[in-house]
Structure 1
Amino acid sequence: MNNKLDFLQELGNIGASHATTALSQMLQDTKLELTVPKARMLSFAEAANFIASREEIVVCIYTRMIDMIKGDIAFIMPFSCAVTLANHLTGDDREQLNEIGESALLEVGNIMLGSYITALSLLSDTKIKPTVPGIVIDMNGAIWQSILAGAGVTEAVTILDTKFSTAELELSGHLIFIPDNAVFEALYQKVSSCWKSEETL
């Protein structure tokens, strides 16, 4: 492992693999691929502006990690992409989200977040417990000021670009990982030491 971005990319790849399997089972006969083209580390302000403009409406599925690793993890996608995905999941053809569509998105988000938390747990050999996930539809700026600001981050925010692909559609979103202060550095050092030990065998 050369640097933190390598670690984040590996986390993204493992999480995407787990999520692809789980989502394909959920969608039954639909072949789905979930990929993570790029991992980024940005400041909190940079991350918020990178995701979308402050006024753009987005859909955010989020949960908090507790136990040995604490922090916030969320999946954010543009409202239009969320509506397209919800229609694909429910068989509807709507321009707005209804309760059934929101429930379908929450289920997909729960699978995705759970898959990345599992990947993080496997990479770090550390127990992680997520809280019950929630879904919020609001302006991007409001989401970052309310839900994600509660993470208390002072340094880097991890963003994993995420792409859904099926035969019928291709959608994109962003997975946001905000560990509590000092957690990420300790986690990275732990995983790095494990990987270095394996390389010397």
Structure 2
Amino acid sequence: MSLDKGAPESTKPLYADALMLGGHYNLAREVFSEHLVSTKDEHAEWHLKNMCLEKIINKMGLKEQVRRKNEAISIIDTSKVGNSTFIQNLEKAIELDNLCGLAWFNLGIEHSKAGKHEEAAFSFIVCGLVQTWDIEAWVNTTLCCLNKEIPIHILPLALITAHFFNGDDFLSRLHKELADRFDDDALKQITNAIDELLPDRANGGAPKIRLMHDDGIFRDIFTGKNV
């Protein structure tokens, strides 16, 4: 699989996406990175996939693989939820297919139970990126990202991507989960913050997400400009 010479820059992330789903993880990450650096693309999905690919490559030690999807799913026995064999099977499933959404989702649940918030968030994000329609995965991602252990820039990227694919259905489910966990004052603060992070749905505008760099200057993570 290759990109035709002269193809517009806008096709590069789509090409990278296809590479990723085809098991060419390292090449996909390289194409994503080149595109994001050269264009300052504000599409949160591409930023999130680029970060996750880097972590998958480092975590699993695989730059590419033939994804054995059916075999991976076949060894996940949900009747054994919560025991060590179940977790081992999830990890084996992910070895067979680094993008096995079912395995990553269930591993996220197990990490969450164990209080491993960063690992849980990563697991749910990978599931959501593979199964973009999975609102439960995105809601769980958001809840994990409210923990202070998670780098602050991950939350807006996940929120924007989840909303891009699932719209207000995602926000409705998320609000219900938040209402069950927080009192009215805290709920209002969180929902207001979420509204600020999401792009202007009426005008299609992009959000401004600032992150302080080592030089002490805030820059927008999408454009790279000082803010």
Greater RCO structure (CA 8 Å; 6+ sep): 1
Q: Higher strand proportion, which one?
A: 1
Q: TM range, normalised to the smaller chain? A: under 0.3
Instruction: Name the TM-score, length of structure 1 as normaliser.
Output: 0.28
